[in-house]
Each structure stands twice: as structure tokens, then as C-alpha cells.
């Protein structure tokens, strides 16, 4: 089936950390099995990284819908490429 991804804009400034919840990325694929959905980080944040909360400082390139539901993933603004705000997309 078709994949539908809805995302609320989230803006971070230097030092901010936002835990991804089902309010931020919400995806469905029509199979009624959201636990099998995987997200790939194709364009990492410019000023930080996506990481597992239990492994701070280690960027990840993918995570699952179950990780989001369990609130195990965060977007961290670490000012790694200069000052500025960042929007999670």
C-alpha cells in the first residue's frame, strides 16, 4: 500500500533535545502493522543528529515506529556546523 507520513514542524536551537513521539513523525502504510515501519534518515540534521536516547552522542541512520512509540529516539541540536535554528523534517 501507499505510505503516508505526517510530520509536525519542530524547531530546535543550540543545546535543545526533542524526543520524537508519534505527534512528530506519524506514518502508515495501509497494512495496519505500524510496528513494522522503519524510518531512514536520508538527510541528517545540519546542526546535530538523530540518536537513541540510551546512546547519547551516537548518530543513527534508521529507527523504527516502535522506537518512536517507546520514545527512544531524539533529535539533538549540538551546533556542530555553526549557529542557527534547525527544523526537524
Concatenating the DSSP letter of every residue in 42-58 gives SS--TTEEEEETTSTT-
Within a domain: 59: yes
Q: Return the bridge partners of 19, or none.
A: 74
The pLDDT-based confidence of 6 (bands split at 50, 70, 90) is low
pLDDT in tens, 38-56: 888 888 877 788 899 999 9
In a domain, 9, yes or no: no
Q: Does residue 61 belong to any structural domain of this protein?
A: yes
Domain span at residue 61?
35-77
Residue 9 has pLDDT above 80, yes or no: no
pTM over 0.75: no
- Record the cell numbers describing residue 32, joined without a space: 495496519
19 located within any domain? no
Query: Is residue 63 a part of any domain in this protein?
Result: yes
55 domain-assigned? yes
Task: Give domain status of residue 18, yes or no.
Answer: no
Mean pLDDT estimate for the chain: 76
* Residue 52 domain-assigned (yes or no): yes
Amino acid at each position: 500500500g501507499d505510505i503516508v507520513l505526517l510530520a509536525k514542524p519542530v524547531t530546535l536551537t543550540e543545546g535543545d533535545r526533542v524526543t520524537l513521539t508519534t505527534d512528530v513523525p506519524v506514518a502508515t502504510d495501509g497494512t495496519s502493522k505500524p510496528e513494522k515501519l522503519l524510518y531512514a534518515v536520508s538527510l541528517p540534521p545540519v546542526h546535530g543528529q538523530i540518536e537513541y536516547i540510551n546512546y547519547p552522542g551516537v548518530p543513527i541512520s534508521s529507527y523504527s515506529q516502535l522506537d518512536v512509540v517507546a520514545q527512544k529516539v531524539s533529535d539533538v541540536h549540538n551546533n556542530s556546523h555553526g549557529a542557527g535554528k534547525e527544523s526537524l523534517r
